[in-house]
Structure 1
Amino acid sequence: MDTGKESATETAMQMPPRNVDGLRELAIRIGRDEADVSLGGKAHTVLAKLLERPEEVAVRTITELAASLDVNASTLTRLSTRLGYAGFADFQSVFRDSLAQRHRHFYSEQAERIVASRKTRARNAAPEVDMVVKLARESIGNVEGFIAQLSPADLRGAARLLADAKRVRVHGLRQFSALASFLCYGLGMIRTDVALLDAHGLGVAEGLAQLQRGDVVIVASVAPYTRSVVDAALAAKEAGCTVIAITDTLASPLVPPARHAFLVPHESSFFSNSIGAYFVFCEGLLNLVAAHLGKRSLQALERRERLIAALGIEST
């Protein structure tokens, strides 16, 4: 008997999965009592819950995850080592690597699905209409998704901040630069001193330097997150500004620095992030700010109307 080969084989069998899919398969085999490792009922339940929220596991601390699962941090450490990992950090790296890999090919994979469905659409009577209808229904689903998790307290708090803060700055890049501009325009209709954080292209640091403690910075980004927006949110909080985040999940890196975080899904067959639901949410938020301002918003809008008329901006 070649004990060396036998030992190597045993070691290979004990190597833990290095991707989330492999970890899911292991969890299933453990539940069926078909794996080399066994877990108690509580530990197996914790593992299943972690696999239900892979993005959160990738970015949250062991303390935050333990609190969200109502267990001790030591429970997660023991689970990690029981599965064969060196510790929780090693276990978490599986989720981080999988998340990074998925985000690396986000746009091309979205587009690939569109191309792959082309043959199916060609057999339909009106494939162009079908594609638009599908996207519209997906956006409706995203709207229903954010409605289901709206917090009255967060909405009230954010509206109050946006109405009463001395200065408001908005920051969103790439696709979300459009949302940032929309928010600036809407807020600027009903209050003063609202602008994009990097309005003049002088840089985020210069924009933040113009703010004071208590001013509000709205940031917007979704997976795959724009790193500079995340950095700006962290810097704004560190500078004493109040951060409001418009993002997608609790796993978003914009959530920790934010006093109020609003989560809007963007599940869609669109080749980029679907942002229709984000505009709907922002319209609602703007209405809340206007309601909080009361007569002040009405006076601002009336003044705007007088200026539009005086300058002959609108045609009849």
Structure 2
Amino acid sequence: MAQSPTRSRARSSSKKAEGEKGGAALGYARPRTYEELRAVLSSGTVHFPKRLRQVAIFLWQHPGDVALGTISSVATQAGVQPSTLVRFAKTFGFAGFSDFQEIFKEHVKGSWPEGRERNGRGRGRPTGTNPNTHFVNGLVAASQASLGRIEAGFDLDAFERIVAIMAAADLIYVIGSKRAFPVTAYVSLALSQQGVRNVLIDNVGSTAFDQIGCLGKRDAVLAVSFSPYNSITPELVAAARERSASIVSITDSTFSPLVKLSDAWIEVIESDFAGFRSLAATLAVGMGLVNGVVAARDV
């Protein structure tokens, strides 16, 4: 039986109202650009359940993949079902994922690191190429994408605040575990070589909390942590905050638990290849901090 025009219009109006209600429920208009979406996500006003939070972190870190991928490929990379992406989009007042995806497409048009990163991932191995060489080339491309992203959008104000806090500290505690540990170990070594007193929290013998036992309010903590943020680092930083120490951090999204604990933080998003993530950009920023601290103390 054919629907009456009146009933059809009523159903259409109802769906439109539901979409508007979704955006209104969050207290802001539907984001028109990627920058507006980032501003909303970083505002702290949106509280997501676990799966939507997982989507938000992925979207924050990989706008190029979202812009150029299909809903299936994006869902696979984010580790969720396609329906979760649709649900996330509707939360922000969009009709569906394709509608939501448009703001990412506009964003990456002028963002060469993202496009370059995706091109590096998507290329097949040329016939006759050694697979080990292909893997190395893939990791090099991921590192270049990470470094290019820093070059294109470096937050100098945040960087200088971190340098100032670290330079003023009596003692710098350097905290990072799992994948972040190579970064903190190198930063600690570089600081020591430049005569800057510091303590590397290495958690040998599960003594991490004992290692920060003497931390005081005149000291500073440099923490490094990456998603999925399931290391001991946030707990150590929270303990340091309770001792009134200054906290600065390097992390990869506004959803990091370090953000709310930090006096200043800088975002570094590392690209990956075949499940292995680069550390090139984080190391570059870390060495930059060392150089800045030494220069500030010499003034």
Shorter-chain TM-score bucket reads: 0.5 to 0.7
The percentage of counterpart residues that share the same residue type is: 19
Post-superposition CA distance 1:85-107 (Å, at most 9, x none): xxx76x645513657999xxxxx
Counterparts of 2:208 and 2:225, CA distance in 1: 16
Q: Which residue of 2 aligns with 1:220?
A: 224
Post-superposition CA distance 1:289-309 (Å, at most 9, x none): 2211227xxxxxxxxxxxxxx
Q: Compute the displacement of 1:118 (Å).
A: 12
Query: Does structure 1 residue 154 correspond to structure 2 residue 138?
Result: no
Structure 1 alignment gaps of length 5 or more: 1-28, 67-87, 103-107, 111-116, 296-316
Query: Does structure 1 residue 266 correspond to structure 2 residue 223?
Result: no
Q: Compute the displacement of 1:172 (Å).
A: 0.8
Q: Compute the displacement of 1:203 (Å).
A: 1.9
> Equivalent of 1:39, from 20, 39, 42?
20
Q: Which amino acid aligns with 2:20?
A: L
Compute the RMSD of aligned alpha carbons: 4.0
> Equivalent of 2:53, from 93, 96, 108?
96
- Aligned pairs for 1:111-190 within 5 A: 120-121=124-125, 123-190=127-194
Using the size of structure 2 for normalisation, the TM-score is 0.62
Counterparts of 2:220 and 2:214, CA distance in 1: 12
Q: Match of 2:275, SS?
A: coil
Going from structure 1 to structure 2, the CA distance change for 1:95 and 1:49 (only over 3 Å counts) comes to farther
Going from structure 1 to structure 2, the CA distance change for 1:53 and 1:228 (only over 3 Å counts) comes to farther
Post-superposition CA distance 1:139-191 (Å, at most 9, x none): 12211212333333322222222223111111111121111110110111123
Query: Does structure 1 residue 281 correspond to structure 2 residue 262?
Result: no
Q: Match of 2:292, SS?
A: helix
* Conserved? CA contact 1:143–1:264, under 8 Å: no
Q: Which residue of 2 aligns with 1:207?
A: 211
Post-superposition CA distance 1:274-295 (Å, at most 9, x none): 2121111112221112211227
Ranges of 4+ aligned residues in structure 1 off by more than 6 Å? 33-36, 47-52, 99-102
Q: Which amino acid aligns with 2:52?
A: F
Going from structure 1 to structure 2, the CA distance change for 1:149 and 1:47 (only over 3 Å counts) comes to closer
Going from structure 1 to structure 2, the CA distance change for 1:147 and 1:122 (only over 3 Å counts) comes to closer
State the aligned residue count: 228
User: For the pair shown, which has the larger CA radius of gyration, 1 or 2?
Assistant: 1
Query: Does structure 1 residue 238 correspond to structure 2 residue 254?
Result: no
- My pick for the range that moved more, 244-253 or 43-52, is 43-52
Using the size of structure 1 for normalisation, the TM-score is 0.59
Post-superposition CA distance 1:95-144 (Å, at most 9, x none): 13657999xxxxx979xxxxxx9994262545443332232122122112
* Conserved? CA contact 2:31–2:37, under 8 Å: no
Q: Compute the displacement of 1:220 (Å).
A: 0.8
Counterparts of 1:36 and 1:94, CA distance in 2: 25
Counterparts of 2:58 and 2:166, CA distance in 1: 37
